[in-house]
Structure 1
Amino acid sequence: MPSEHTEGLLCIGEVARLLNLSVGTLRHYEQMGLLEPAYVNPASGYRYYGSRQLSTLNTIGNLRVLDLPLTQIREFVTTRDMDLMQRQLTKQQELIEHRRRELERMSRKIDQRLALLHGALNADLDTISEIEEPELRCATLHERVNPTDAYSLGWHIRQLQQGQHETFAYLGNLGVGIAPERLAAGDFDGYDEVFL
């Protein structure tokens, strides 16, 4: 039964259903200092919420959609400092732009790997042919090697990775080369370079 303290207020379950949130989420917001109930029954511990809390929850929901961390949201809902919110949103926009560029870079890498896989699956093996390729970025290790298979080049690949800002994975784009003067002389004993 509503008391004088709870008149016009909603209990925690009603708020959860109304805003499609869990009771646990509302309790978590309270523990973090984001949301103070309008009234807490001292005997039962039941929490009640009014229009002010619903407005705060609406603000929290809008800011969560923008992927703002709860700590930053708390800072805003407790101060209502619009300059602070402007700074937080500007910083969030910069972070999202950085993430967007990273995702585009990863997408390009996946496209490259898929193209390499397609080429490997459709390669005409046991045939030597001359092909023209567009200019590509290559990492090359000029060192005499005699690999028995692609796996034995692992050490050389690790050497190519030294000094790189990011670890790269190789998938089919590994090659070995013979120096032109050795080709001309018909010397095919080993290779003179490993490249990615």
Structure 2
Amino acid sequence: MNKLFTIGEMAKLFGINAKTLRYYDEIGLIRPEHTDPKTGYRYYSTGQFERLNTIKYLRALDMPLTKIMRFFDNKDIGQMMEILKEQQQEVLVKHRELERIEYKISERLSQLHDALYTIYNQVEEVALPDRKLAMLRTEIPATDDLEYSIRQLERQTQLEAAMFLGKVGVSISMRHVMSHKFDEFCSIFVVLEPGDVYDGEAVDIPGGRYLTLRYCGTHTQSSVYYEKLLSEVKVRGYELAGNSIEITLVDAGMTNDTTRFVTELQLPVTVGQEYDLRN
């Protein structure tokens, strides 16, 4: 008769939690070979070592228990190759997803560092690339509370939550900006990045010349900074070329310290006769 081992001894030999072995017994993956009719104690034999070792190996490959059970229902090399190939494909999908998440984390860290170590209240002229936005066109009062509008945008676009952190912005129409009316947004959007999964209609924002300014504060404090940008537009002989873009780089989702909120304003501009009316 093969030597018998208790659940505790088996768990210690294979480095597996005793609760896990009991669960494997419960679902029929590996049941004890012998149960003492008097004590109810369950025992495993050396003949079951190979099965448990295979289970442990496959679990180390993150193989689902359902696939492991399927293998033991039809145990042969072909079945093993099939479940390994399936698992390989699933691992590749997970790997691509982890790379996408790592990219997002790196981007957020870079954006936060840039926002925290920037020069505030200074107008800068920059060349920005083409951008794609998932946008909700709607009239929104320029208040601190954009959460309801963000939820509407999230529902409409069916974008995942990870795509919203640090990338949500609002726009004021060019007509209102030119009229010095800064108390109403015409849209709310999220900037789409490489790797973002989005099947809806994206709005293309052409790249080009922008005057930008960053300040410590929220959207409700933007008026004075818009005025500063508009003054600079006039001084430089530029004209507005589209709606404003307004993004809160640091907000209540990141800190309770309102003095550390950072908002960036962007005004697309063109020179003299190059002016091309948009929106």
TM over 0.5: yes
Distance 1:146 1:61, change over 3 A: closer
Partner letter of residue 159 of structure 2?
E
What is the aligned length?
186
| Whole-Å separation in 1 of the counterparts to 2:93 and 2:4 | 43
2:180 to 184, 188, 193: 188
1:53 shift after superposition: 0.6
* 1:164 to 2:164 alignment: no
Q: Is the 8 A contact 2:67 2:83 kept in 1?
A: yes
Report deviation, 1:62.
0.4
Query: Is 2:63–2:87's contact at 8 Å kept on the other side of the alignment?
Result: yes
Instruction: Note the 1:136-155 alignment, pairs <5 A.
Output: 136-140=131-135, 147-148=142-143, 151-154=144-147
**Aligned residue number for residue 74 of structure 2:** 79
1:133 aligns with 2:128: yes
Give the unaligned 5+ runs of structure 2.
Answer: 191-279
Structure possessing the higher radius of gyration over alpha carbons: 1
1:154–1:10 CA distance, 2 compared to 1 (3 A): closer
Name which of structure 1's ranges 169-178 and 75-84 shifts more when overlaid on structure 2: 169-178
Cα deviation 1:15-39 (Å, max 9, x = unaligned) = 2221122332222212211113232
TM-score, with normalisation over the residues of structure 1? 0.75
CA distance in 2, matches of 1:64, 1:44: 31
Percent identity between matched residues is 33
- Answering whether residue 106 of structure 2 is matched by residue 106 of structure 1, we say no
* DSSP 3-state at the match of 2:171: strand
Root mean square deviation of aligned Cα: 2.9
CA apart distance, 1:140: 4.8
Aligned-pair CA distance for 1:144: 6.6
Which of 22, 42, 62 is the equivalent residue of 1:67? 62
String of CA shifts for 1:135-163, please: whole Å, max 9, x gaps: 43334556676625xx3555554554454
- Residue segments in structure 1 that go unaligned for 5+ positions in a row: 1-5
Structure (1 or 2) with the greater helix fraction = 1
Aligned to 1:12: 7
Match of 2:46 among 41, 51, 63: 51
Report if aligned partners of 1:16, 1:26 keep a CA contact under 8 Å in 2.
Answer: yes
Q: Which amino acid aligns with 1:187?
A: S
Verify the 8 A CA contact 2:4 2:45 in the aligned structure 1.
yes
Residue pair 2:8, 2:18 contacting (<8 A) in 1 also: yes
1:166-194 alpha-carbon deviations (Å, 9 max, x no partner): 23314265253553x777xx532236665
| Corresponding letter in the other structure for 1:97 | L
Specify which structure has the bigger relative contact order, considering alpha-carbon pairs within 8 angstroms and separated by 6 or more residues: 2
**CA distance 1:125–1:141, shift in 2 (3 Å):** farther
- Structure 1 residues 61 and 138 mapped into 2: Cα distance closer, same or farther (>3 Å)? same
With over 3 angstroms needed to count, the CA separation of the structure-2 counterparts of 1:187 and 1:128, relative to structure 1, is farther
Deviations 1:72-123 (A, max 9, x none): 2122224314333322222222222212111211222222222221222123
Q: Secondary structure at the match of 2:119?
A: coil
**For the residues of structure 2 that align with 1:95 and 1:122, how far apart are their CA atoms?**
41
CA distance in 2, matches of 1:8, 1:193: 74
Partner of 1:122 in structure 2? 117
Letter in 2 for 1:123: T
TM-score norm. by structure 2 comes to 0.56
On the 8 A contact 2:2/2:45 being kept in 1, the answer is: no
Structure 2 distance, partners of 1:75, 1:9, is 27
